[in-house]
Chain A
Amino acid sequence: MTQFPIKIRSDELARELAEVQRKITTGLERLADTKEDDVDIGSTPKDVIYERETWKLYHYKPVKDHKKLHPIPLLIIPPLINGYEVADLQPDRSVVRNFLEQGMDVYLVNWGYPHRGDMYLATDDYVCDFMDDAVDFVREYHGVEKTNLFGLCQGGTMCTCYSALFPEKVKNLVLTVTPIDFHRHKVDGKPHIGLLFEMGMKADVDRMVNAFGLIPADVLNVSFLMASPFTLMFGKYADTIDMLENRESLVNFLRMEKWLFGGPGVSGMAYRDLVKKFVQGNQLVKGELELDGRKVDLKNITMPVLNVFAERDHLVPPGCTMALGEHQKHNKGYKEFPIKTGHIGIYTGGASQKIMVPGVCEWLREQDKA
């Protein structure tokens, strides 16, 4: 028999609302005591060993004896969109810290916050100038001919381009949730998967760049929120009510919020490249991409490649990432490493912390032994 589908009793409703009210009140008191410094992200100890224009090169303080450190340095390249802190969000959920624990000597490029004056920085500036400069600095600083590269999301796309242009400087290439083929984003019956790429397909990016110069982070965030507007804007905060009484959980939630909404804007030209050349033109896999007047040929990538992807990634669907394999048939050192998690979870998820970094380190040790 059909039953009335909403059975909310007045006494239970009263209790529920009272509970919500109490938790919110407690939460607001707790938040009032929470200073911005308490919500620390990117906190693993490090030195700035080089800085230039908008960016800095970090060298993380090793936690293992120098003699036990892996001989090849690991240079982490974050994306231009969103801050580097996703790799070092909180002490117990830190890719960087895990690498240090594994005995890696870790370097990272923090692209920083570009200003209006940086609006003309394009992909070739980032890849052929800034990245190349960072790689050269690490090689010199560390005294090695080649370095290992570890790319985060779009940073991985930049690492891919770099490795194709400067293969002589890259020992091993590790990519994580990295878009390569931007036209393999659709999954039947799941419109939220690959929504960003779909939206970018017809976007008039020239207009946007002309209007803004520097694309504000808030404009980029709107795009991310569109993937699940209700859940991300309301549902998430409704669920937060339950964690307000646990200070540690609350601070960790705030760390994620700080990273999500505190990211940098993006230079207009780099954004234009991303949308027109990569998303719309799919030039990387078509072999049409040129940076600094040089063609980016994926066949030039001959060093060992570990392609790590998230099976539940809705921002960069696995198809976009795994496409690299089709362009690496010549490369016996190419390997894929799937992890059952989502796009951000691969860096911050508890399960991923136990799987990804140890797996990457094991693979690197095997390669560097050979």
Chain B
Amino acid sequence: MDWTDKTNELMNTWQDAQKQFWGPWYDWVQSSMGGSSAMSSFDPTQFLKAGVDTWSGAAGGTAQRLAGNLLGNPEIMARSVNVLMKAWETVAPKVQAGKPWKPDLEGLLGQWQEEMSSLPNRATATAGEFTQLTRSMFEQWTPITAPWLSMVGQAMASGHPGAAFMGGTAGLDRLMGFEEGIHPLMTGLGELPRGTVIRQKMGKLLEAVDSLTDVRASQAEFHKAMAEAMGKAVEQTMEHLAKLAEKGEPITNVRDLLRTWFGVADKTLNQTFTSAEFMEVQDNMTNALMDHKVKQRAALEIIYQAMEIPTRSEVDEAYRDIHALKKEVRILRRQLKELTQDSKPAPARKAPAARRAPAKKAAAAAT
């Protein structure tokens, strides 16, 4: 049989099996992927997103988080097999004919990468108005699927599949330090009467918004780099399959196919992650996110100050002073001790067998 036919048969078998055994999950996976056109709507960073989504649900308890991971398994399985099948469909005829197959795959991956890379830009283009843009600071993060942003998305969400299944309602607001109350406040920022805000304050708000633009730009770059890395991973996996074809050592079950994919992908990603180019892109994105968080805080502090609520900066300053005082006390105590003990090494402070002394309390020792 022709390898194209064999691949089609394999894909049909796979889809039938999914429908048969994972009914509701199958629908969910298909709808989340935009229908049956697996490759064109496949987002490489969805893999990472799904992983982060599940492990970041720790607030709901260890068993809940694992339940989330288990529920996510069919989705990951389906996504993985779909993308591999689609790529294999492209290269199979050439592999069978012993001809170069990489140019065909490159065409497919190029198209895929272009789609992925343009996602953040499309999102930005829809947010022209100031109000919309500030609102989008939170609402449009979720679709941008880099792991960092997924964490932010999770921070806004009320739970994850594991928590839902187990009846939990634990929120994940702790992630990235975005407290629950910030969302509505920031959403409303853009709606503040502009005439009542002095230029300097308005400047801070605009800086926060500008920093979001920087975040988006850096994320687009990160997205592109991830898409390229995932493209390489797919290519390497195809190469691995081609070698198996030559050796006559076929993969006979889905989980072995997935293990092959995960193993090859990890190896390829590791190489990418340690490249200077990728690290620069990653650092740029991390830095943009950090800057944005700082500028958000500065913008929020305008409101806190207006309401006579202590700001984060003021509280942190108090913490810094307390810490500095504690340190000063420690150094003075040490100097005093050295003076009184004539700098000799400290012997045991009490005679042996002083065990089972009552616990000292924090308050006594903390100063």
List residues of A whose CB falls within 8 A of some B CB: 1-10, 12-14, 16-18, 20-21, 24, 27-28, 31-32, 34-36, 39, 47-53, 116-117, 119-121, 125, 128-129, 133, 136-137, 139-145, 168-169, 191-192, 195, 198-199, 202-204, 207-208, 210-213, 216, 218-219, 221-222, 225-235, 237-238, 240-241, 244, 253-254, 257-258, 261-262, 292-293
Q: Which residue of B lies closest to A212 (CB)?
A: B177
A117-B322, A229-B266, A234-B262 known, 10 other contacts, Cβ within 8 Å:
A5-B249, A17-B22, A31-B70, A47-B359, A120-B319, A143-B351, A204-B287, A212-B290, A230-B261, A235-B262
Say yes or no: A6-B360 contact (C-beta < 8 A), given A28-B70, A202-B279.
no
| Chain A: minimal CB distance from B206 (Å) | 19
Interface positions, chain B 61-96, Cβ under 8 Å from A, are: 61-67, 69-74, 76-77, 88, 92, 95-96
In the bound assembly, the distance between CA atoms of A20 and B365 in angstroms comes to 56
Contact between chains at A5 and B242 (CB < 8 Å) = yes
| Cβ–Cβ < 8 Å partners of B263 in chain A | 230-231, 235
Contact A49 B177 (CB under 8 A): no
- Closest residue on chain A to residue B25 by CB atoms: A21
Q: How far is the CB of B328 from chain A (nearest CB, A)?
A: 12
Contact in complex: A238, B319 (CB < 8 Å) = no
Q: How far is the CB of B204 from chain A (nearest CB, A)?
A: 16
CB distance from A332 to the nearest CB of B (A): 21
B217 contacts the other chain (CB 8 A):
no
B122 on the interface (CB 8 Å rule)? no
A104 to chain B, nearest CB (A): 15
Q: In the bound complex, what is the Cα–Cα distance between A221 and B354 (angstroms)?
A: 42
Is the CB of B345 closer than 8 A to any CB of chain A? yes
The interface residues of chain B, by DSSP majority, are classed as: helix
Contacting A at CB under 8 A, from B35-75, are: 47-48, 50-52, 54-56, 58, 61-67, 69-74
Known contacts A12-B253, A210-B294, A237-B70; A52/B166 CB under 8 A: no
Task: Tell me, in angstroms, the Cα distance from A292 to B327 when the chains sit together.
Answer: 9
B133 contacts the other chain (Cβ, under 8 Å)? Answer: no
A228 in contact with B250 (CB, 8 Å): no
B192: Cβ under 8 A from any A Cβ: no
In the complex the two chains form, is A28's CB within 8 Å of B269's CB? no
| A8–B355 CB distance below 8 A | no
Q: Which of B52, B177, B241 has the most CB of A within 10 A?
A: B177
Q: What separation, in Å, do the CA atoms of A150 and B74 have in the docked complex?
A: 44
Residues of B within 8 A of A262 (CB): 58, 62
> Which of A6, A17, A143, A199: most chain B Cβ within 10 A?
A6
Q: How far is the CB of A154 from chain B (nearest CB, A)?
A: 21
Q: Which 7 A-B pairs have the closest CB atoms?
A: A233-B51, A143-B352, A168-B345, A120-B323, A211-B290, A230-B262, A7-B250
Q: Which B residues are CB-close (under 8 A) to A227? A: 270
Question: With a CB–CB cut-off of 8 A, which chain B residues contact A212?
Answer: 177, 290, 293
Could you tell me the distance between the alpha carbons of A128 and B334 in the complex, rounded to whole angstroms? 10
Q: How far is the CA of A27 from the CA of B162 in the complex (A)?
A: 12
The chain B residue with its CB closest to the CB of A314 is B270
| Interface check B274, CB cutoff 8 A | yes
Nearest B-chain residue to A169, judged by Cβ: B346
In the complex, what residues of A have CB within 8 A of residue B351's CB?
Answer: 143
Contacts of A237 in B (CB 8 A): 54, 66, 69-70, 72-73
Contact indicator B349/A139 (Cβ below 8 Å): yes
Closest to B331 in A: A292
Contact residue among B3, B17, B47, B62 (Cβ-Cβ distance under 8 Å from A13):
B17
A36 touches which of B61, B147, B355 (Cβ 8 Å)? B61
Q: Which residue of A lies closest to B241 (CB)?
A: A5
Binding site secondary structure of chain A? helix
Cα distance, A104 to B62, chains bound together (Å): 32
B6-14, B101-109, B195-203 - interface stretch = B6-14
Chain B interface size, under 10 / 10 to 19 / 20 to 34 / 35 or more:
35 or more
Query: Is residue B271 contacting chain A, with contact meaning CB distance below 8 A?
Result: yes
Q: For A50, A229, A258, which residue has the most chain B Cβ atoms within 10 angstroms?
A: A229
Q: Is the CB of B323 within 8 A of A228?
A: no
Closest to B166 in A: A32
Complex Cα spacing A251 to B346, Å: 46
How far does the alpha carbon of A35 sit from the alpha carbon of B60 in the complex, in Å?
Answer: 11
Determine whether the beta carbon of A254 is less than 8 Å from that of B62.
Answer: yes
| Known A21-B21, A27-B70, A238-B77; contact A139-B348, beta-carbon cutoff 8 A | yes
Does B185 sit at the interface, judged by CB under 8 A?
A: no
Smallest beta-carbon distance B164→chain A, Å: 12
Report the minimum CB–CB distance from A317 to chain B (whole Å).
13
- Is the beta-carbon distance between B73 and A2 smaller than 8 angstroms? no
Q: How far is the CB of A253 from chain B (nearest CB, A)?
A: 8
Nearest chain A CB to B61 CB, angstrom units:
5
- Find the B residue at minimum CB distance from A167: B345
Contact present for A143 and B350 (CB under 8 Å): yes
Tell me the bound Cα distance from A261 to B220 in angstroms.
29
Q: Is the Cβ of B250 less than 8 Å from the Cβ of A6?
A: yes
Contact partners of A140 in chain B: CB under 8 A: 348-350, 354, 357
Contact B70 A257 (CB under 8 A): no
Given A24-B70, A120-B320, A254-B66, decide whether A191 and B265 contact each other with a Cβ distance below 8 A.
Answer: no
Q: How far is the CA of A230 from the CA of B76 in the complex (A)?
A: 10
Chain B hits for A53, CB < 8 A: 362, 366
Q: Contact check: which of B98, B359, B365 meets A2 at CB < 8 Å?
A: B98
Closest B-chain residue to A263, C-beta based? Answer: B58
B258 touches A240 (CB 8 A): no
- The reply on B129 being an interface residue by CB < 8 A is no
Q: A36-B63, A225-B51, A229-B269 are in contact. Are A49 and B359 (CB under 8 A)?
A: yes
Asked if A211 contacts B294 (CB within 8 A), the reply is yes
Q: Looking at the complex, which one of B64, B252, B354 makes contact with A143 (CB distance below 8 Å)? A: B354
Contacts of A7 in B (CB 8 A): 250-252
Contact A218 B151 (CB under 8 A): yes
Q: How many Å lie between the Cα of A5 and that of B239 in the bound state?
A: 11
A258 / chain B contacts, CB cutoff of 8 Å = 62
Smallest CB gap from B323: residue in A: A120
- Complex contacts, A129 vs chain B, CB 8 Å: 327, 330
Closest residue of chain B to A48 (Cβ to Cβ) is B359
CA distance A292 to B279 in the complex (A): 34
List residues of chain A with CB within 8 A of the CB of B27: none
Given A133-B365, A234-B51, A257-B62; A192-B266 close (CB under 8 Å): yes
